[in-house]
Amino acid sequence: MAPAAPASLREQQIERLLWTSLGLTVTIFILSMLSLGRRSLFLSLIGAVITLIFDIALLALLAKERRLQTMCYIDTTSTPTSNLKSLTCALRKPAIVIPFFLAVVWLAACGVLCWSTAFALEIASESRKAWMAVPIIELILCATHAGVLGVYGVLCVKERIV
């Protein structure tokens, strides 16, 4: 039996943002490990680990909820309709607050990466300037990730209000 699709377009966007966040997290973790996390003062590594745990847990809970929705064990004749439409795990308060906190962590990593990259560019020799692409790419991905998490949080708030 195939799993049920998310109910609304906004829920589909929320799930896509979670998958995007997972991909960005793994990519940033790999790039940060090239310098063992020193360029971002370990903020990228800490953010990657926390975000990885958050993304995997939320995706697993969403898959579990979708699997339970396909199994029709609820007797709808005796259950009030208000109890049938409960909030998914992605729309609960902790799942909305945590991405905003994580976005702040990623923005802090961006700030530290800007500072360390600017400092390293001043003292780098011509032969080492090619290696400066790694922290610049990491900086761009961290900023993108903060944006993805911010959009995720805003979409969850909008979906919860509706």
pLDDT at 79 over 70: no
- The confidence score (pLDDT) of residue 85 equals 54
- Tokens representing 63 are 């898959």
Looking at the domain assignment, is residue 119 inside a domain? yes
Looking at the domain assignment, is residue 3 inside a domain? no
Looking at the domain assignment, is residue 39 inside a domain? yes
Looking at the domain assignment, is residue 126 inside a domain? yes
In terms of residue numbers, what domain contains 97? 9-161
Contacts of residue 102, Cβ cutoff 8 Å, sequence gap at least 6? 47, 50, 51, 54, 149
One-letter amino acid at 148 equals V
Confidence of residue 1 (pLDDT cuts 50, 70, 90): very low
Instruction: Give the C-alpha separation, 52 to 30, whole Å.
Output: 13
Looking at the domain assignment, is residue 2 inside a domain? no
CA distances from 36 to 5, 32, 46, 50, 147 (A): 40, 6, 12, 17, 24
Computed over every residue of the chain, the mean pLDDT equals 84
Looking at the domain assignment, is residue 1 inside a domain? no
- Tokens representing 113 are 């990466």
Looking at the domain assignment, is residue 42 inside a domain? yes
Looking at the domain assignment, is residue 43 inside a domain? yes
pLDDT at 77 over 70: no
Instruction: Give the C-alpha separation, 63 to 78, whole Å.
Output: 27
Of the CA atoms within 13 Å of residue 44, those in its CB half-sphere come to 34
Domain count across the chain: 1
pLDDT at 83 over 50: no
Phi-psi region of 92 (alpha: psi -120 to 50; beta: other; left: phi over 0): beta
First CA to last CA distance, the chain: 30
Q: Which 8-state DSSP code applies to residue 47?
A: H
